[in-house]
Structure 1
Amino acid sequence: MICGDAFPDPATAGLQAYVVGGAVRDALLGLPAGDRDWVVVGATPEDMVRRGFVPVGGDFPVFLHPATKEEYALARTERKSGRGYQGFTFYTGADVTLEQDLRRRDFTVNAMARTRAGELIDPLHGQADVRARIFRHVGEAFAEDPVRILRLARFMARFVDFAVADETMGLCRRMVEAGEADALVPERVWKEMSRGLMSARPSRMLDVLAGSQALARVMPELQAWGPAGADVDRAAAQDLSLPVRYALLCRRSGQREALGRRLRVPAECADHARLLPLLCDGLPRAGEAQGRLDLIERCDALRKPDRFTALLRAASVAGAAVDQTAWQHWVHAVRGIDAGAIAQACAADPARIKAALRQARLQALLA
């Protein structure tokens, strides 16, 4: 059950409120219940405030329930008023119906609602598309918001048994051809991409972006991503971190730094992407203590051993032969060298400190 109130709620008594969107879809799919989003019909912002709801919306009225803190949005319609995903005018009058609100949504499987009593409201046949495992756009208004291409790609990475309706993919291509994808800002692209990377099969996200021709517009540095997609899928199967998945995605691209700048990725992700190729290139030369030490130092493993361990796992996913236990032993041994004591011993000749420290670290690797 995603709806139904065990006890009367004075804040919502008499309120026409419906659970909408992903919570309804996921319940039909038998997935664990997550956050619920509510739509309210026939109310005004003043009505909601009088009931104790806390306004938090920016472009349109959204309120937090005074007890549950769940989001309640007033039913609204949208009208395109400019280019890109921000070019919309919203209307949230008390005369907006639930069906009008559902018709502004992206996909039929996200355009369903349930009453608090549990009754399904499905004017756009989303339940049939849930059963068929199809993402189908609600209407031609889909073309007004290029973020929906990114959302479709991200949903495909999460719902691995779903397909995209042919007409929906065709519409995405027309949107890209019309230049709508060019209005996407880096922060929004990264937000959707990072969520897709953390889904069950990230390569499906890239399939959609490539198939819709959006990849060349929003991430041209990844147009030769094919083999990297399999690496990222394996990382997802091992539940590896976002920085590791991003590094694997970028590993085969010669434009990692350009992609990072374009998407304004977090520093941790950029660092993993920069260091993974260094690690993979250095592993064949790590049979000798000197090669091992070079790699440990170049990857800054002494200061950040956990990151180095994550990079080793990424290298393993990418096909490198990595003895994780041995590397952890070596890093621990080198980190155990007392650099302060060596510096003190070389106080009379400071120029010897660097060479003496390296020699001590090499001896630790040979022990």
Structure 2
Amino acid sequence: MKVNDFYFHLPEELIAQHPLKERDTSRLMVLDRATGEIEHKVFHDILEYLKEGDTLVLNNTRVLPARLIGEKEDTGGKIEFLLLKRITGDKWECLAKPGKRARVGTIFTFGDGILKAEVKEIKEEGNRIIEFSYDGIFEEVLDSLGQMPLPPYIHERLEDKERYQTVYSKEKGSAAAPTAGLHFTEELLKKIQERGVKIAYLTLHVGLGTFRPVKVENIEQHNMHSEFYQLSKESAEIINDTKRKGNRVIAVGTTSTRTLETIADENGFMRETNGWTNIFIYPGYRFKVVDALITNFHLPESTLIMLVSALAGKENVMNAYNTAVKEGYRFFSFGDAMFIK
């Protein structure tokens, strides 16, 4: 299967640059994966499509304000660090821009010296290992100095950091938001539960690799990035009970989908666990646990549109995406949503 099988023309003006005032007022395209039939709704209409006994699986990762802008201690030269993952203690792996300034042994300061970082190592792919020094609690320092690491296709500044977090975000560690969850409000989640739908939480810390393009012509040769996940005993039991009763497990987002499919055994049952996943789901994949999916509209030729195509069928998905363009849907992180039933 070729990467250009997943190409569609996307006008730049359809890339959403800011979130809507009300989270649950985005548009919702409903796609029947059996028939290919499409309906046009508003996101809070999702209630119409959820049934008693269903379980919604939400990724409760919380995005770190991981973009730090500072200067070289001795010369004042500007630097930007993007934190990727904590190695241990105060050591982090990060991207540095411009990289030529971030030599081993160089010290950088942020917020008038409130936070300092020394470059300890340069990895083969050019990432840096840095070690921070500061007074107090690192997370509080980072909250005060860091900016949200918005995707490269968003060019407008985000006024409210919380709009790039889900209302149920809890476990800090993500480099990007699980954007399908951005449409939910606390009130909508309450209504969903009152309908008899269960909520199960898992954690997958989204890496920047989620934005990395597929550079090989044959998609089967693409190497996925690795991301950390964890699932509690309570959530595993909720999902297993749902499967036993023959009800639907509905993943909110591709991150939840990848985590569930990584953990599930051949019969679709879960267990309490944590680890790293680099699962790549594309057409031909047999889903073990996920029955339906709430997701956003993704980049052409991305691993995310390939995952969606694996669930709903490539022909159905490409038709839905071309329809979304024609109907003026908003795309990507702050864009509209799709429910694949």
- If asked which structure has higher relative contact order (CA below 8 Å, sep 6+), I would say 2
* TM-score when normalising by structure 2: 0.26
Greater fraction strand: 2
TM-score of the superposed pair, with normalisation by structure 1 = 0.24
